[in-house]
Amino acid sequence: MKFPIFDEGQRLQFRADSFNTFNHTQWSSMNTNDGREVNPASQFGYVTGARPGRHMQLALKFFF
């Protein structure tokens, strides 16, 4: 959106950007070490990480 400020062509621009808006989970790694024979509390098959979620930014720009 652009808003005129003064009569001499100066204006202010407002901007909003969004990335990964719907925030679908993207798993990045899974524990595949099957150590249940040695350690019964093994976390075999657990998801151990995910990629970054949603990112949003707001910006103002002054044109003169």
Domain that holds residue 28: 2-63
Query: For the whole model, what pTM was predicted?
Result: 0.45
Q: How far apart are CA 37 and CA 33, in angstroms?
A: 11
Residue 26: the pLDDT is 77
Phi and psi angles of residue 4, each rounded to the nearest 5 degrees, phi first: -70, 140
pLDDT in tens, 17-52: 988 777 777 777 777 777 666 767 777 777 778 777
**CA neighbor of 32 nearest in space, from 16, 18, 43:** 43
Tokens of 21: 């808006």
State which amino acid sits at residue 31.
N
How many structural domains are present in the chain? 1
Helix (H, G, I), strand (E, B) or coil at 20: coil
Residue 49: what pLDDT?
Answer: 81
Nearest C-alpha neighbor of 26 from the set 61, 58, 52, 6:
52
